[in-house]
Structure 1
């Protein structure tokens, strides 16, 4: 990891090591200490929180907690809802059915729920072995993009807000 940081100076490091091994195994604390204190990108790097089994939500500039995370209330720290267009897999599937793919309505609902609770939406699309995107993904992303373009003022650079007498739950 240090070699990647030194050679390529990334803006974001998105770790995905929380499902199998501990942060001790990955030497996460040592790496993050170096990253934030001594690396050439220490002043601008952003990292997520998946640095080992059992430490999700502790380290990182933004939280992911789990795939499809949807707290239903405003979270003070920045967080990310990581989801995929194919409801069944993160990678390409030749046997995928249209019913396995999120509808535009489902995408819009997740976007609204996410940004209204102070989060970002990370939307995954699995290309085939040639790097091509399935036509149904293109169609859904195009329609989703039209919604985002039309309502961009209400989506980008906004902050969650509740009325004085609102409950803690958004939904």
Structure 2
């Protein structure tokens, strides 16, 4: 449900042992306003601030954290980048390459990514590089981008979340999937 600057995420198991639940700590670090409810969380529209987060134990969070950091003004540090080398793509390299097309500067300094957030993301032609999490992070970054974004290889989302783009559309995003079957 999206409305009045709020997004309700239902069905989340906040007691889960999955490391991805660490997203709440990252949201706290970025100053994102949210409330925990019995059946999930409600995220309120807010402007994220630059943050530092150790994602070593949850490397799958790197792509959405980069999307978040792109909209935070200042330098965000995400630690654990060495864990990204052998995923569906070299995620560190792919994030740097594809977000650069959207006007976001990302540097790798040893085991961390440094995201130079400006609060503004430019729409662009980008590639998922065969990686479902990259495809979703690019799509999330595109939601508030200036101009439209075309993601080649977006069908990679079928690996983990086949309804991702349909769900974005239900939430009010303008999604066109001309080459997506």
**How does the TM-score come out when normalised to structure 2?**
0.30
Greater Rg by CA: 1
Higher strand share: 2
